[in-house]
Chains A and B, each alone.
Chain A
Amino acid sequence: MSLTDKIEAEGFDLKALLDPDAASEVTRVMQICNACRYCEGFCAVFPAMTRRRSFDEGDVGYLANLCHNCGACYHACQYAPPHEFGVNVPQALAAARNDSYAAYAWPAPMAGLFRRNGLFVTSVISLGLAITVGVMLAMIAPQLFWGVHVGEGAFYKIMPHTVMAGIPLAISAFVLMSFIMGWRRYWRHTGAKWGGFVDLFDAIKAAASLRHLGGDSSSGVLSGPGCPTGDDRSSNARRIYHQLTMYGFLLCFAATSVGTIYHYVLGREAPYGYLELPVVLGTVGGIILCIGTAGLFVEKRRMHPSVRHDEGLGMDYAFIVSLFFVSFTGLLLLAVRETSYMGVTLAVHLGVVYGFFLILPFSKFVHGLYRFAALIASAGEARRG
């Protein structure tokens, strides 16, 4: 029986005709995309695809983390469902991306935490909150806890500085180690190559501007139509909210770092004045972090159901909400720090922060890590041609 007779007799079977060894939905979809390539101008994923003829597991991990889940390619796709080819790149890559977080997780037995991640993150943060508040209530005399404290060292009347800083320091060592190991796993698995600082700078530029949520690779760093929100209409809203979140987080991080310098180098104890650097950084950072996370929450809800990866939603929401509470309780502390509510607000804020630090390596936070690594690899590939 000749091949075409066979097709006529048995009908069209796309799955059998595509790579029979296809490792995943990503491989299947990429084989179709690579024969079309209309989406090349949207972002870095499609140019990276055209540099490959076949896709192994490492390639899947790379492309999945390079994708920013903007959805432009879905709305542009002539093969999107209900077409029989059923191409949905954002969803295929989102599923693979979630799997990759688990695959690169360190310590490896923690990989399971990326399943039902929303429950895990919420539980740990609630637990962190409960323990911190509980321990403080139990150990601190009520008149101290509910007292009004002002001037240098006011916070440390509630909790000694060594304890307050010691806990996150211990957590940080673990978090940092986990990040380093995760990065290493990603780098090896995807076969990425270090091409020098020129690629690093390019990746920093892409991350700083979130270029790949701009919806048009050829447009300037801050222009571009943005990505589809809800329907096929494009907007830069998600890009802006994400950057508010990212820069807000970085400003808060900077506030903590500057505070540490004040404490150990300048020998000055918190709380600092409203116009002093640590407070200004923290206030501005906290406010834009609140706006950014609230905006991301709304954008997430508005996302087109075909582009959204529902299994990953729990992780996304849990992370966004916990970030919101970290910044919101910080701002609240600033507002009430000269009242008798300072003690309880400090306890709540520290509880949320400790919990948040603990979950970092097993939360949506890792998207930044792997995506940045993918951006470096992509810059190198593009440069080498």
Chain B
Amino acid sequence: MLDNNSQSLFEKSWDIVVIGGGNAGVCAAITAAERGCSILVIETAPREFRGGNTRHTRNLRSVHDEPTDVMSDRYTFEEYWDDLMRVTKGVTNEHLAKLTLESSQALMEWLIERGVRFQTALSGTLNLNHTNAFFLGGGRAMLNSLCRHAESVGVQFIYEAEVTDIALENGFCESVDVSWQGQSHHIRCKQLITAAGGFEADLDWLAEGWGDAAKNFLVRGTPYNKGRVLRVLLDRGAQPVGALDQCHAVAIDARAPKYDGGIASRVDGVPFGVVLNNSAERFYDEGEDFWPKRYAIWGRLVAAQPDQIAYAIVDSEGVERFMPSVFTPIVDDTIEGLASQLGIDPTAAKKTIDAFNAACPSGPIDQMILDGKATTGLTPEKTNWSAPLQKPPFYGYPLRPGITFTYMGVAVNDRAQVLMQDGKPAANLFAAGEIMAGNVLGQGYLGGIGMTIGGVFGRIAGAEAARVLNR
């Protein structure tokens, strides 16, 4: 269908062009289309891989004042706020952060009305049950529903089309240049909404923030977020927000593919064993908190180790305590044997594990609670779930930093308008999703808030763009 109509897609002057077909972009497109605007969504990925990191998401963090059919207890604005302040350490635009949290509940209802189905927390994620609503079938299923709805209200999509430039003068945008099937096209629009994601798949750009360490990073998210649109906006005078090296990064299996490994590449065993660097030394408290509250710091922790590599080691009791990971762990009957298989010094590894075992308290651990089973006289301390690694076979998982998405983006106001370097909002240029997530997320991460930011600002951008057009 697209091939036949594509020429008319390029020739038409659109009310609104949306760059990026993920959660934020499609929420924006639907909102404006429902107000009668003509919309073209430009997606750089092929249809099978459309939607950027939305494909890899699984839930959305939302305020709710009483139990819902998919979330337990309640998650008040205040509790959400405290969680956000704790992880960002206050590095956030408080006004926009408040707006995000306040709009989260309405966002959920809005999505449900448009065909998105939610479910209760997945097995192994029960401690997210009171804060996050899970998409039935995950983010790709959620996006399929949204895109179907978008098409039903007249939104047009074009895939495998890459934006190469934006005509942006004095904060006013007239058109975008698109490369499609080897040809360059010029698309005119009255309003432009950029929802094109971060730059996590551009390792050279990452290296500007991380130095050479970046070459050892795995990109857990979509390979299509190369930050091209972000770069154009910054070059054309948009005001940047967020630090270059801030991102959502978790420790993932080092054997995962370089790009697009997604959720399955994660390793959940850290709290139930020890993590060594390639000098066979521990470097952080593995039992600091429940894993879903801590996994997002381990990407940075591993990134700070020599050669950006670490090794999680558990014994045959520990291995039963977490969800299996996608790659078969390295197995050996002795610590020394495991260490040499992993490529670290066997003697040093044995010494570290022996010291750890000697520092463990007696008695069984309880993984359902913060059990306070802490090591004594060990640096760094392990504060919970400390059980000696003594029951062979031993299992090893090599870890690398796995980047999901970057935070550095363009500054926006509460109408999702992009702010220019003079501090004034661009007249007809909006941003939503990862490309502006750094306004809210200065650092740290709360599971599911990325989708909340995308949905909330997508809806705002769509509504504001339509409003400017008097729709």
Interfacial residues, chain A to chain B (CB-CB below 8 A): 1-5, 7, 12, 14, 17-20, 31-32, 34-42, 47, 50, 53, 72-73, 75-85, 216-218, 225, 232-233
Distance in Å: Cβ of B197 to nearest Cβ of chain A: 15
Q: Using C-beta atoms within 8 Å of the partner chain, give the interface range for chain B.
A: 35 or more
Contact A76 B140 (CB under 8 A): yes
Interface members, chain B 51-85 (any A CB < 8 Å): 55-56, 58, 69
- Partner of A31 from the list B258, B266, B324, B398 (CB cut-off 8 Å) is B324
- Partner of A40 from the list B123, B255, B260, B325 (CB cut-off 8 Å) is B123
Contact B254 A3 (CB under 8 A): yes
Known pairs A35-B263, A35-B325, A76-B144; A3 contacts B342 (CB<8 A): yes
Q: Is B347 located at the chain interface by the 8 A CB criterion?
A: no
Q: Mark B314-331, 1 if CB is under 8 A from A, else 0.
A: 000000100111111010
Known pairs A1-B343, A7-B255, A78-B55; A218 contacts B328 (CB<8 A): no
Contact B264 A36 (CB under 8 A): yes
Q: Which residues of B contact A42 (CB under 8 A)?
A: 136-137
Q: What is the CA–CA distance of A77 and B58 in the complex, to the nearest angstrom? A: 11
Distance in Å: Cβ of B431 to nearest Cβ of chain A: 25
- Partner of A34 from the list B141, B265, B266, B324 (CB cut-off 8 Å) is B324
Contact B264 A4 (CB under 8 A): no
Known pairs A4-B254, A42-B137, A83-B260; A218 contacts B119 (CB<8 A): yes
Contact B341 A12 (CB under 8 A): no
Q: Which residues of B contact A85 (CB under 8 A)?
A: 264
Q: Is B433 located at the chain interface by the 8 A CB criterion?
A: no
Q: What is the CA–CA distance of A339 and B212 in the complex, to the nearest angstrom? A: 91
Distance in Å: Cβ of A211 to nearest Cβ of chain B: 15
- Partner of A3 from the list B49, B56, B137, B341 (CB cut-off 8 Å) is B341
Known pairs A3-B254, A225-B117; A18 contacts B327 (CB<8 A): yes
Known pairs A40-B122, A41-B136; A75 contacts B141 (CB<8 A): yes
Interfacial residues, chain B to chain A (CB-CB below 8 A): 46, 48-49, 55-56, 58, 69, 117, 119-120, 122-124, 134-141, 144, 148, 254-255, 257-258, 260, 262-266, 278, 309, 320, 323-328, 330, 341-344, 398, 400
Q: Which residues of B contact A34 (CB under 8 A)?
A: 323-324, 326
- Partner of A78 from the list B46, B138, B266, B330 (CB cut-off 8 Å) is B138
Write the chain B residue with the least CB distance to A225.
Answer: B117
22 contacts between A and B (CB under 8 A): A3-B341, A4-B255, A12-B257, A12-B258, A17-B328, A31-B326, A36-B264, A36-B326, A38-B122, A38-B138, A41-B120, A73-B137, A75-B141, A76-B144, A78-B138, A78-B140, A79-B262, A79-B264, A81-B48, A85-B264, A218-B120, A232-B144
Contact A35 B324 (CB under 8 A): yes
Distance in Å: Cβ of B108 to nearest Cβ of chain A: 16
Contact A84 B328 (CB under 8 A): no
Q: What is the CA–CA distance of A81 and B138 in the complex, to the nearest angstrom? A: 17
Q: What is the CA–CA distance of A31 and B262 in the complex, to the nearest angstrom? A: 14
